[in-house]
DNA sequence: ACTTTATCAGATTATAAAGTCTGATTATCT
DNA sequence: AGATAATCAGACTTTATAATCTGATAAAGT
């Protein structure tokens, strides 16, 4: 296996990047997101619903309804989405699964994994998603 | 969620580190490994069985039977265990779940994740497990 | 006001991972 | 040779994640 994010989280990240790559304030129906990203319709709906609860996106009901970012892309970081869906626990636990792993009782890869985890956190938190528009377009046709 | 290794893999890594920290050629019954590492008996048995098939450890049946390393700890790397249990697929796939992620069509975190993945691979493959004896003893009482 | 088109909410199903059980087999000790 | 103590093998159960279905609700256009 060796996953890093859950499927839910991957899909959530993709969907938010998709919305950020479009015109600001443009409302995207779940149906469209489902088709463009090839994610089961009802599954992405549920994920978007939970991101709405977290305040990252907002929903608009009725005809011409859908989802849009709740704030400007320059205010959103990837880590916000990860935190909302998967949580941040894995950034604080031993990669080998040993209990109570700490600097004074380190596991065999404690220091190295610690450094990597910090880098991963930076990867997700140093830039806001408005910077990712171009690269998102590599992956999704809008 | 945000796992890196599956539970199976974590347990497998712990068990092999445990064996490597003991006297060379010492046979460890599954029962003992289960108790020391607090892993369900039948579950660790299955994992050890599969590591036996992979040729990383060997089993000895009958009274005073159990498992021991198939080769000297200086010939075993953590990546061998990861490969045997989880496989190496995740070292070759997009962390955001986009299909066909490549240098010419990179996803928003392609370069950074690539670098991290390389570091993670190095963490698991640069040293052999005979170097980990001391740190393993931090985590497991023998 | 009515129809359409969308989300919303919660129950349900499917699949995969984690963990358990049981009976057979095998080796060692007495 | 027989008893014992272990693995071995495979079926089974449980739990968590992924995905689906259905009916209610709500907003916008006519």
pLDDT tens-digit series, residues A19-61: 999 887 889 999 999 999 999 999 999 999 999 988 899 888 8
Residue B57 CA distance to nucleotide D3 C1' (Å): 29
Nearest chain A Cα to B14, which residue? A96
Quote the tokens at residue B119: 């570091």
What are the CA-CA distances from residue B97 to residues B44, B72, B125 (Å)? 31, 38, 25
- Considering only the beta carbons, identify the residue of A5, A107, A123 that sits closest to B135: A107
From the CB of residue A39, how many other CB atoms can be counted at a distance below 10 Å? 21
Q: What is the pLDDT of residue B45?
A: 93
- Residues in contact with B107: Cβ distance below 8 Å, sequence separation at least 6, in sequence order: A135, A136, A138, A139, B94, B95, B96, B98, B101
pLDDT tens-digit series, residues B3-20: 789 999 999 999 999 999
Residues A78-102 as b/e (b if ≥16 CB within 10 A, e otherwise) read bbbbbbbbbeeebeebbbbbbeebe
pTM for this model (two decimals): 0.92
**A119-126 own/partner pairs: CB under 8 Å, 24+ apart:** A119/B112, A119/B115, A119/B116, A119/B119, A120/A91, A120/B116, A121/A79, A121/A91, A123/A78, A123/B109, A123/B112, A123/B113, A123/B116, A124/A77, A124/A78, A124/A79, A124/A82, A124/B109, A125/A77, A125/A78, A125/A79
Contacts of A101 in chain B (CB under 8 A): 139
| Stronger pLDDT, A56 or B62, i.e. the higher one | A56
CA closest to D29 C1', residue: A63
Nearest chain B Cα to A123, which residue? B112
Tell me whether residues B97 and A5 touch, CB distance under 8 A: yes
Q: What is the pLDDT of residue B26?
A: 86
Phi, psi of B113 (to 5 degrees): -65, -35
Report the alpha-carbon distance of residue B96 to residue B56 in Å, rounded.
Answer: 33
- Considering only the beta carbons, identify the residue of B6, B13, B97 that sits closest to A14: B97
Per-residue flag: B3 CB under 7 A of strand D: no
pLDDT tens-digit series, residues A72-118: 999 999 999 999 999 998 898 999 999 999 999 999 999 999 999 99
Quote the tokens at residue B19: 């064996």
The answer to whether B69 touches B57, Cβ cutoff 8 Å, is yes
pLDDT tens-digit series, residues B111-134: 999 999 999 999 999 999 999 999
Q: pLDDT band for A14, please (50, 70, 90 cuts).
A: very high
| Closest-approach nucleotide to residue A48, Cα vs C1' | C7
Per-residue flag: A65 CB under 7 A of strand C: yes
Nearest chain A Cα to B107, which residue? A135
Per-residue flag: B2 CB under 7 A of strand C: no
Residue A63 CA distance to nucleotide D23 C1' (Å): 19
Residue A79 CA distance to nucleotide C5 C1' (Å): 33
Instruction: Please report the sign of the dihedral spanned by the C-alpha atoms of residue B17, residue B22, residue B25, residue B27.
Output: negative
């Amino acid at each position: 296996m060796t996953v890093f994010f859950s499927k839910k989280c991957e899909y959530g990240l993709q969907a938010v990047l998709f919305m950020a790559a479009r015109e600001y304030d443009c409302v995207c129906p779940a149906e469209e997101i489902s088709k463009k990203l090839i994610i089961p319709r009802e599954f992405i709906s549920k994920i978007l619903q939970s991101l709405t609860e977290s305040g990252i996106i907002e929903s608009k009901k009725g005809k011409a309804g859908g989802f849009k970012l709740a704030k400007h892309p320059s205010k959103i970081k990837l880590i916000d989405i990860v935190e909302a869906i998967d949580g941040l626990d894995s950034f604080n636990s031993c990669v080998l699964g040993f209990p109570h792993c700490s600097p004074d009782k380190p596991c065999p890869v404690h220091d190295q994994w610690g450094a990597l985890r910090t880098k991963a956190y930076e990867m997700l938190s140093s830039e806001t998603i408005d910077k990712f528009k171009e690269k998102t377009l590599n992956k999704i046709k809008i």
